[in-house]
Chains A and B, each alone.
Chain A
């Protein structure tokens, strides 16, 4: 059955189970079962290539031995299945013993189950769920990166996700960004808020055709790294990479902001960084302390920019998606971060994306910042990608497609200034000009922005950033006045 139906069927079955309340729990329930099924499919392949393959999962707990229903009436179900899952499967998988030598491909089983939980209380319904999932043929879906589709479907149901500022980045956007950066086999690629791994898999897609030798395959396997804070997307990311034939998914389950930036070593740095960091969060002092004073913003996305600047290798290149607030905000931290970006890195291009690219999650406008670690910025080109003809907005049924980026791609190699009806669409600004604007780099923006109605959260976030910027400006003037009065500290 098609993937959409799978999710719907699963939800229908689970709705009848008293232990699963709400979409969030339904999804968590689905995800660990999916992982075990995918992992089992992988193990079949590994067994083929490795002579002495041993699964890290105890024999009786492997999917093939308890989950597969041979239709002979002997499949575990009802209370027996429930007891098995609650008293044997979960405890043992959580307690798997690892040491430094355990390869990632085996360690992930434990980390996957660290935060998982079986909510279902009805063994018969659980059997139905397992059967539906067993029917999915993952080999076919792997090519279509369908796992991201599953997550998208899941995110759609998870309204709560909206408050976390985490949005699934559309394939068109990740593919475009990867295309611009042209990763080469042998380079290291990092995403420190990788979600379900969209950037990583777009990169893999780009690297795959470059594999010609066995060594190439080794490079491929080691090319991508991700960090993800939340258990759910972490699990999906790991599963996603397994589906892309990365046997040792190098994904950290943790918070990228919890390490002191000054402690990063060369090993922690990457040739390429691609990210869509979470927006709007309010970080506590215990996190901010990991950053130099002047770069300490309360906003999550700002702190991620700091991390990126400390983790990009010399001559490395980055493409990061950030909201408008980062461009127009001029409070002290944002100004300092942008000043550092422009003076130590080459911010060569900023693409203004149209609204609703992230529909249906949010309608905010976002931007892609392209920069390299090869010297200070001399000038930055801004380019506004307008809504394609015939589109009033993007939506679930009419999402953004890679072709919509064609105008940017055409313009990219042969950059000209463009002005339409008195509004700049493409223009270069020197570092000096940007500095003189107080680092308000909201340039070549959309002409009738005030008319787009943002949803409440985005509106409030933008309001707070703008207000903070205005307050910072006023504070600056008042300080000068106090100084002139001779009463300043």
Chain B
């Protein structure tokens, strides 16, 4: 239930006569109505308003609900008159000239006090004090925006309509009744919604005795601040609830990379053993010339370890597990774009979707010439953006070439069934553990950057391979359940 729902419900109660008790001593509404009809006749006689086409009497079938005895039904035409605005020439003196947008000016939230323009208009175009203005054209109608005119007369544009009460004392009640009407439902016209006089004049208005009107208005005014307080609390709750699923997912992933998600099984080996296997496989590939030899990395110091990991796990630097390099671009890049069949995929930041796991397509291709000056990424390699919103990893589902805004983590092909668990890697690289480390290492002033050297120094926790798989399975189960919270 939003605050608006609550407000609507209370207004509905109000116009049905159920918000405040009736007082049998009140002068019945029929008397008030007669009085207003007489005032209207006088205005017509004085030429201040047009008679207009008479509308049919109210029939039983039209009446939407029962009203108390002392009330009576009438139509808008009986108690108010409508006016729409026009295009006027602006001038510096003159009365306030309100276009729909001006209703949003600061100070105008309740009634009109200011405008960005003024105009001088004929008497019949003046919207007098005692009016409610609202949009009558376009999408603005459905906002149900309404403003009082109670300080000074104004004029309005052709997209705005004004309802002016014949008897000023009913204005407060009438405006509350009017607030219970959804103008969006009254609008006609398919391409551009419009409200015309004929849509409003016939509307049925349940009219309470004047004294009761005052009690109703007072009650609503007492309730409004409470509804607002409710609205704030409800928004707070909604925002709070919306944050939670993401926070929970982050928490589950953090839990996973700390080794707390699944139990350790000594028969699966240790992270240290896995690490050694990877190192010797790397050596083999370097000897075979398949990968380049890289600068050796320093050992991980005790206080570099972010948290305690289970005994069977090991900390390892990314650079010792994988070969990492930065992308590069042929320049000027535009010269190398191509649409030809033998062009190669050119991976831009725009090809990556926030929250996605894979790069599946590129919008641009470059020529073979250009690719010589760039860096190749293979299917299965990881790429991480290194600036601005750094730290988002993606797994390549296609191959291609990357520019220097990307760092590449090459996942080498190993023998002996030694395979990296890509999903585990993906979780570790997306976890806050890595983001925190990257934040620490990011250099640069305005645009923070993570160099590939720094990326090599990042440490990740390494469980034995089978445990990695169990972690991934458990994590995915949990993440799916978390999704149901949305």
- Footprint of B on A, CB under 8 Å? 159, 359-360, 392-393, 395-398, 453-456, 459-460, 463, 466-467, 470-471, 473-474, 477-478, 480-481, 484-485
CA distance in complex: A393, B229 (Å)? 40
Q: A454-B251, A474-B234, A481-B226 are in contact. List 6 more A-B contacts (CB 8 A).
A: A393-B307, A396-B308, A453-B254, A459-B251, A474-B237, A481-B6
Also in contact, A456 and B252, with CB within 8 A (given A484-B222, A484-B223, A485-B19): yes
Complex partner residue of B223 from A395, A463, A481, CB under 8 angstroms? A481
Check if A470 sits within 8 Å of B432, measured CB to CB: no
Task: Given A467-B240, A474-B234, A484-B219, decide whether A453 and B250 contact each other with a Cβ distance below 8 A.
Answer: yes
Most chain B C-beta atoms within 10 Å of own C-beta, residue among A456, A459, A484: A456
12 A-B Cβ contacts within 8 A?
A359-B307, A359-B308, A453-B251, A453-B432, A456-B255, A459-B251, A467-B241, A470-B236, A477-B230, A481-B226, A484-B223, A485-B19
List the 7 shortest-distance A-B pairs measured between CB atoms, nearest first.
Answer: A470-B237, A453-B254, A459-B251, A477-B230, A456-B251, A396-B308, A395-B308
Residues of A within 8 A of B293 (CB): none
| Nearest B residue (CB) for A159 | B263
Residue count of chain B within 8 Å CB distance of chain A: 35
Contact assessment for A474 and B226 in the assembled complex, using a CB-CB cutoff below 8 Å: no
A453: chain B residues within 8 A (beta carbon): 250-251, 254, 432
User: What B residues does A393 contact at CB under 8 A?
Assistant: 306-307
- Tell me the B228-257 residues at the A interface (CB within 8 Å): 229-230, 233-234, 236-237, 240-241, 244, 247-248, 250-252, 254-255
Question: Roughly how many angstroms separate A453 CA and B307 CA in the complex, as a whole number?
Answer: 13
> Nearest-CB distance from A90 to chain B (Å)?
30
Cβ-based interface call for B415 (8 A): no
| B13 at interface, CB cutoff 8 A | yes
Q: Is the CB of B227 within 8 A of A481?
A: yes
How far apart are B438's CB and chain A's nearest CB, in angstroms?
Answer: 14
Write out the residue numbers on chain A whose beta carbons fall within 8 Å of the beta carbon of B250.
453
Query: Contacts of B222 on A, CB cut-off 8 Å?
Result: 484
Q: How far is B414's CA from A434's CA once the two chains are assembled, in angstroms?
A: 63
A471 proximity list for chain B (CB < 8 A): 237
Find out whether the CB atom of A474 lies under 8 angstroms from the CB atom of B223. no
Residue-wise interface mask of B (1-31) relative to A, using a CB-CB cutoff of 8 A (1 in contact, 0 not): 0000010001001000001000000000000
Q: Are B306 and A455 in contact (CB under 8 A)?
A: no
A360–B227 touching, CB < 8 Å: no
**Which residues does chain B contribute within 8 Å of A484, judged by CB atoms?**
219, 222-223, 226
Is there an interface contact between A397 and B308, defined as CB atoms closer than 8 Å?
yes
Residue pair B260, A455 in contact (C-beta under 8 Å): yes
Inter-subunit contact B10/A485 (CB<8 Å): yes
Kindly report which residue of chain B lies nearest to residue A483, judged by CB atoms. B226
Across the interface, do A360 and B308 meet the contact criterion of CB distance under 8 Å?
yes
Please state if B226 and A480 are interface contacts (CB–CB under 8 Å): yes
Q: How far is the CA of A24 from the CA of B258 in the complex (A)?
A: 21
What residues of B have a CB within 8 angstroms of the CB of A359 in the complex? 307-308
Asked if residues B248 and A395 are in contact (CB atoms below 8 Å), the reply is no
In the bound complex, CA of A477 to CA of B6 (Å): 12
Chain B positions within 8 Å of A477 at CB level? 226, 229-230, 233
Q: Are A481 and B251 in contact (CB under 8 A)?
A: no
Which residues of chain B in 252-305 are interfacial with respect to chain A, using CB atoms and an 8 Å cutoff?
A: 252, 254-255, 258, 260, 263, 302-303, 305
Q: Least Cβ distance of B396 to chain A in Å? A: 28
CB distance from B484 to the nearest CB of A (A): 14
Map CB proximity to A onto B194-219 as digits: 1 under 8 Å, 0 otherwise.
Answer: 00000000000000000000000001
Query: How far, in Å, is A387 (CB) from chain B's closest CB?
Result: 14
User: Which residues of A lie under 8 Å from residue B432 when comparing CB positions?
Assistant: 453
Closest to B229 in A: A477
The distance in angstroms between the C-alpha atoms of A463 and B230, with both chains bound, is 20
The answer to whether B13 and A485 touch across the interface, beta carbons within 8 angstroms, is yes
Question: Considering the chains assembled together, what is the distance between the CA atoms of A153 and B247 in angstroms?
Answer: 31
Query: Considering the chains assembled together, what is the distance between the CA atoms of A453 and B234 in angstroms?
Result: 25
For the complex formed, measure the closest distance between the CB of B408 and the CB atoms of chain A, giving whole angstroms: 28
In angstroms, Cα B237 to Cα A396, docked, is 37
Task: Report the separation of the CA atoms of residues A396 and B309 in the bound assembly, to the nearest whole angstrom.
Answer: 10
> Residue A463 contacts which of B233, B244, B303, B305 (CB distance < 8 angstroms)?
B244
- Of the candidates B223, B233, B234, the one having the most CB atoms from chain A within 10 angstroms of its own CB is B233
Q: How far is the CA of A484 from the CA of B216 in the complex (A)?
A: 12
Please judge, given known A-B contacts A453-B250, A481-B6, whether A474 and B308 are in contact too, CB under 8 Å.
Answer: no
Residue from A454, A466, A474, A485 within 8 A of B233 (CB atoms): A474
| B266 closest partner in A (C-beta) | A15
| B260: nearest chain-A partner, CB-CB | A455
Nearest chain A residue, comparing its CB with the CB of B222: A484
A395 and B315 CA atoms in complex are apart in Å by 15
CB distance from B180 to the nearest CB of A (A): 16
Q: For B244, what are the chain A residues with a Cβ–Cβ distance below 8 Å?
A: 463
B254: A residues at CB distance < 8 A: 453, 455
Closest to A466 in B: B240
Residue contact A470 to B10, C-beta cutoff 8 Å:
no
